[in-house]
Chains A and B, each alone.
Chain A
Amino acid sequence: MTSRQQFLRKIVYLVIMAVLLGVLAYLGTPAAPSRDPQRSSPGGVLAQVREKEGLTPTQLGQLDPSGEAIKLATLGMRGVAVHILWMKAEDYKRRKDWTNLSAALEQMVKLEPHFVTVWRHQGWNLSFNVSVEFDDYRERFRWVIRGIKFLQEGIRYNEREPVLYGDVGWTYGWKIGMADESKQFRRLFMDPADPYEIHQGRPPRDNWLVGKDWYREAERLTDQGAILRTTPLIFYSHRPKFQMNYAEAIEKEGTFGETAMDAWKTGWHEFVNEFGHRELPSGYEDFPIIRLYERELLLQQARELAQQIDELEPGLREQLLAERRKELTPEEREAYDTPPYDRTARQADLALSAEIKMRLTHEQVARRIKDPAKRKKALELARKAMELERRAQIVEHNRTIVNYDYWKRHAEVEQQPEAVAAREAMFQSLEAYHNNDHITAMEIFLEAARRWKKVIEKNPDIQYDDAFVSDLSEITDRYMRILDQLDEVFPEDFALQDIIRRRVKRRPEYQIAMEKVAAAQKAIRAGDLGQARSNLEEAFSRFHELTELVKSLKLLSDRQTINDMMNAIDLYDAVMVKLGDVFPRNFVLADIIRIQCLHTPELVAIKRHAAMANSILTAGVNPANLAKARAEFEQALPQAAALLKKFPHLARLSDRRTATELAELDINYNRLLSTIGESLPADYPLREFHEKVVPILEKEYSEPAQPETQPSSATSGSSSKT
């Protein structure tokens, strides 16, 4: 290579360098703001884009000299350093080295102060994952607050990130208000001494309200144009829901009256009037922006248009519907006519298929109008009505995502004085229970149930709301404890029976059990006793599962369901009589029979007389005592006969504990007679029981207890799978 070539090459290099530097300057020249507009420079393309998109460090949040120093010290290896720190943080967490974990997080966020995901992930990590590693709830709380403070620190550097504000609000609300330790957490949160420095000198406030304030701040930012990096529908629903959670929390802790009602009213207002009226992206291209409140309005407008179509040819719609109805099978028709809440699982399927067949669009109606002019008008009306219905459908879909209808109705009902009074009674009942005043607890609970009934009478629709029914039914299950402590059962006029009945009827266990009972009846009519037995045993297994799910049934909370069970037992008893067999030893519904027997006056009298007779005989066996004991036994015997008449299946050992008590009465009476040298009287009321049942029981007790699979191995197998 000659020196000239070398020289030329150098020149080319220099030119290329100059061009590249020019491009670099055009793109990357930093902005030079100045108070004097003449002297200020907007900088290169990148600087201008940053400024326009609000991405300059000063626009994002506060500047941190230490973070900038660390960034420089990493010599452009910031990404690598953050990755290493992230891995180290994970390792420290695994090794439960909390001090170093905190230090690693501090360093990480100094390197990446504007990387929002780091703040969000690690803030959540501290509050939700690290906190639960501690056994002491005070330490847990400390780490929850540490996570919140970490997020607040993130906000300092990212002032226009609504999601960070939302995360702070979320943690204040859910982590403190809904954790297992929420009682303790809320107590610490509202400690006037504020040992965790949460309130910064201000008086402590409820955690839900503090969380709500953070969401309000996030909403203010988004309203000002800040980018919301999450689903708006869910994000905006949090603030009003927090208000309702606040109302629930204060009621749980014993605040009622105007305060509670106002809290619910505010919740309703914020949910319906603010959130419901907010413009939200729908997720659909045809109607991209919706408001949740407008569904009813849209449907009303659609109905009006449909009415206009119907007026063009009166009776046409009814005629078309009648035509379609004819095409339904009888079963589908029955299912279609049954109110949705009362449908069985099978009926629900049939009703769905019937609804599809019965579906009649406005356009279909319009097309069948005979007069062409009217038809044209009807088609136009139909198009508008269907558009409105489509929009309503999209609103409905979005409503489902945030459970809009439930929360709206929940807040409407809970703000009523009757509902607040019912909740207050339930709280007082629980308080009395905790103070070991069980009788007062039971009385107040029954009063609470009556108050709930009033609420239902005022708002009949809520009894068809699954969530509400489930909620009340679970509360009833919890209050079983009170009755259990008092050896009581639910009164026959228990106010919430209907609610429990609704829940029971919705359960597939109940529906299958009733189907099996029906099948058993059919088999009995056909003379197939084995099949009937098998069906009934399957039904009992389902009933038993039902009592495990709806525990209050064990204390007879819903007499109708108990009657269903008792009818099935009577049927089984009839089968047993025909087969000459007795109930299996571990009959799964024995407890249901037992609890009823225990609350009959007959068994109470039998127990009393038998106990008296035994105590007399224990005092000494002499003619006078024998005579007294005999008198006691002879008072008990008619009661036993009456009990057997009331529960004839006891003679087939449907409840072995009660049957054994009767057998003991029989044996002791017989023993007494033989002691005084007498034989059984001719009119002995328990003669049949004495001759047929007592020997079976004696035989069973003389045999070692054997494990028995009942009702049948196939049944238990299927139930375990269930």
Chain B
Amino acid sequence: MPIEIELPQLSSWIGPAFLAWLSAALGLITLCGLIGFLWCLLLYGRRAPRRFWELLRSGVIDLVLVSPRRIGALAWLTIKEAFGRKVTVVVLLFCVSLLFAGWFLDPTSSEPHRLYLNFVLGTTNYLVILLVIFLAAFRLPGDIQNKTIFTVLTKPVRTSEIVTGQILGLVAVGSFILGTMWIISYPFVVRGLHHTHAVNPADLRPLGEPVTLPDGSQGQALQGWTDPTWGHRHRFFVDANGNPRVDMERGHTHSVRVEKSADGKVTYRLGGPEGQLVARVPIYGSLVFRDRNGFDVEKGISVGDEWTYRSYIEGASQAAAIWTFKDLKPDEFPGDTIPIEMNLGVFRTHKGDIERGILGSLSVRNPENGLMVELQVFESKEFSILALDIPKKITRFSSVRVEPRKIKHADGTIEYVRLKPVDPQVLSQKEFDLFRDFTSSDGKIEIWIRCLESGQYFGMAKPDLYIRAGNRSFFLNLFKGYLGIWLQMVLAIGFGVTLSTFLGTPVTLVSTLGVTIAGMAHQFMRQIVTGELYPGVETPARFGPIESFIRLFTQEGVMVEIPRTVGLMVARAIDSVFLAWLDLLSYIIPPMDRLGFIDFVAYGYNVSPSLLAVNIITVAGYLVLLIVAGHFFLRSREVAA
């Protein structure tokens, strides 16, 4: 799965994130306070400081001394009203979309599970977000317009409780709908992907020569194909002992049951697909490259691909990709091996032997003393996961050596990474222990990938190689996928309710929709601001709307330099204001696109607790500020009234 942005780790993220949040909150409070004070000055003249202080004091008290009981009551009221407005129709709409999904979902696709999961999670996302935006936009302004808000305000209820109650009530409604969708979508996906194949034993052809089995009988290995279902078929093998096996195809395989009739006729019954709906637990390392001269570099070679996600290493040279993993413990990996999985890109500068993939090697190295062994040679497999095992007890290996690492500085000086000395006897060992010999005292281990064929290249990015620490439940991972949507929904509700405290229904609706769309395209917004419209591809300049329009009109691409006329200078000056505004907006609008986990679920990767916690805390941070802001806005409105 391509991950184009760095995934945050909770431990390293929380400190700086909290400081950033605190400074943003203080800045916002100061700004709002200043505006409030000026407003008071306008309204009350000389009495303004005293009045402002009273408002501030009572506001803070209102905020702090909230009653959970009253919040609960208000939330319940919101829930009842929402259900009164027939929100369950959305669930019905979802069910209808599932009924007709078969028209549009192509089970013959190379990865149908991704299509199905993208569809259910995507549909849910759009439906729920739209629903809550409408509910939030209509709720409070409707009450204010109908004057029904006074029936609440005349009660001893604080404004903060109204805002919080509204948000909690809407979150509860959204959660109910999302939960229902989660329950409905699971069987839809499983049933939708279910298929099987038939095998005709008569179509199986002998594979190799007959062999004599231990019981003295003759056995013959067979091979053939299953019948086609959903645009694919599997290679089918039966070994000399009669044990059948189905090859992996389109990311899945099938279990096989052998049935023998009384007359000795063999029938093979294939089960449903296996291996499609998984939740792999990857452990990612950090990646550096080594160039053809053996120097460490941040990036490999560009082979001219427009998508610069992967960079490449040259074959039959000193070039390598080096992943460093931290804190690996033997007891985390039951069994004799550590499974790794990789998904490498391949670039050929000559045809070579196209009957097979490009050969590469896998080595492990101790970063502390440089001890390195080559474990195995593998054949590349592009656009599919290649699973390899690193044995804990290494008995089959080659090229034992001490491999130094060196860096060439800009001034041409070469710096060697200091290594601890290695006992020469170690180099002649016949067996190595992965954790004893190749793990440094601070728990680090390096995995090196090299391309072995001259003129050919391997391409890789950091997430392309990981250690697979088992599997988690797909059902729970799907739940996490829905949790991602839930987090987006909570933010949409927060913005909707807060904006509705001082805006009318239509404006609230449009504003919340705007915030949500901008949040969903947050990365795109940042790319426009930074000038990196395509990840890794730097456009020659940051174009604003006016220059973009000029280029559209004159049909000049982004890479073309256009004449620097006075008009262009003026356009760029105006654009710089637009871009500064967009830059500011990109810090205020929440990165809702990062909150979702649809890709994780669809590609079959477990959503890590750390990432989940980061996203939950992010949403909580926004929500706190939104409640505070909503509370003060509603109070100001009350005061104005």
Contact = CB atoms under 8 A, between A and B. Distances in A.
Contacts of A134: 382-383
Interface in B192-228: 224-225, 228
B327 interface: no
A283 B245 CA distance: 62
A66 interface: yes
B231 A197 contact: yes
Nearest to B233: A195
Given A95-B309, A135-B346, A195-B233, A102 B380 contact: no
B104 A107 contact: yes
Contacts of B382: 134-136, 139
B355 interface: yes
Interface string A163-183: 000000000000000001100
A94 interface: yes
A102 B309 CA distance: 21
B109 interface: yes
Contact of A184 (B2, B103, B355): B355
Nearest to B105: A103
Interface string A274-290: 00000000000000000
A95 B537 CA distance: 13
B250 to A, nearest CB: 10
B275 interface: no
A69 B103 CA distance: 10
Q: Which of A94, A99, A106, A184 has the most CB of B within 10 A?
A: A99
Contacts of B358: 135
B306 interface: yes
Contacts of A107: 104
A128 interface: no
Interface in B80-119: 100, 103-104, 106, 109-111, 114-115, 118
B409 interface: no
B333 interface: no
A451 B310 CA distance: 54
A70 B309 CA distance: 34
B549 interface: no
A94 B31 CA distance: 44
Interface in B22-44: none
Contacts of A180: 351, 354
Contacts of A195: 225, 233
A73 B2 CA distance: 32
A102 B110 contact: yes
B113 to A, nearest CB: 9
B354 A184 contact: yes
B252 to A, nearest CB: 14
A316 B528 CA distance: 81
Contacts of B106: 102-103, 106
B280 to A, nearest CB: 17
Interface string A89-120: 00000111111101100110010000000000
Contacts of B13: none
A406 interface: no
Interface in A41-83: 65-66, 69-70
Contacts of B103: 65-66, 69
A98 B307 contact: no
Interface string B357-371: 110000000000000
B406 interface: no
A191 to B, nearest CB: 10
A135 B348 contact: yes
Nearest to B310: A96
Given A94-B306, A135-B380, A197-B228, A99 B104 contact: no
A671 B2 CA distance: 74
A70 B354 CA distance: 42
Q: Is the interface on chain B under 10, 10 to 19, 20 to 34, or 35 or more residues? A: 20 to 34
Contacts of B115: 99, 103
A94 B354 contact: no
A103 B225 contact: no
A99 to B, nearest CB: 4
Nearest to B112: A99
B104 A139 contact: no
A193 B234 CA distance: 12
A139 B351 CA distance: 16
B381 interface: yes
A652 B109 CA distance: 73
A137 B110 CA distance: 16
Contacts of B357: 135-136
Contact of A66 (B104, B306, B346): B104
A99 B354 contact: no
Contacts of A139: 382-383
Contacts, number: 63
* Binding site secondary structure of chain A: helix
A134 B348 CA distance: 11
Nearest to B2: A95
Contact of A96 (B224, B225, B380, B383): B383
B276 to A, nearest CB: 12
Contacts of B233: 195, 197
Contacts of B346: 135
B118 A100 contact: yes
Interface string B517-558: 000000000000000001000000000000000000000000
B307 A103 contact: no
Contacts of A184: 354-355
Interface string B605-637: 000000000000000000000000000000000
Contacts of B224: 193
A181 B228 CA distance: 25
B87 to A, nearest CB: 22
Contact of B354 (A69, A98, A103, A181): A181
Q: Which of B111, B118, B351 has the most CB of A within 10 A?
A: B111
B354 A137 contact: yes
A193 B354 CA distance: 22
Nearest to B456: A135
A99 B110 contact: yes
Contact of B110 (A69, A95, A98, A110): A98
Contacts of A66: 100, 103-104
A103 B357 CA distance: 28
Contacts of A197: 228, 231, 233
A453 B2 CA distance: 60
B25 to A, nearest CB: 37
A135 B458 CA distance: 11
Contacts of A99: 109-111, 114-115
A552 B534 CA distance: 50
Nearest to A67: B103
B209 to A, nearest CB: 21
A193 B381 CA distance: 24
Contact of A102 (B109, B354, B355): B109
A104 B494 CA distance: 33
Contacts of B118: 100, 103
Contacts of B231: 197
Q: Which of A103, A137, A139, A193 has the most CB of B within 10 A?
A: A103
A640 B496 CA distance: 102
Interface in B109-146: 109-111, 114-115, 118
Contact of A95 (B111, B307, B354, B355): B307
Nearest to B346: A135
24 contacts: A66-B100, A66-B104, A70-B104, A94-B534, A98-B110, A98-B383, A99-B111, A99-B115, A100-B118, A103-B106, A103-B109, A103-B115, A103-B118, A106-B106, A135-B346, A135-B348, A135-B357, A137-B354, A180-B351, A193-B225, A195-B225, A195-B233, A197-B228, A197-B233
Given A94-B307, A110-B104, 8 more contacts: A66-B104, A95-B307, A98-B110, A102-B109, A103-B106, A134-B382, A134-B383, A197-B233
Can you list the 3 inter-chain pairs with the closest CB atoms, starting with the nearest?
A66-B103, A135-B346, A135-B382
Interface of A: 65-66, 69-70, 94-100, 102-103, 106-107, 110, 134-137, 139, 180-181, 184, 193, 195, 197
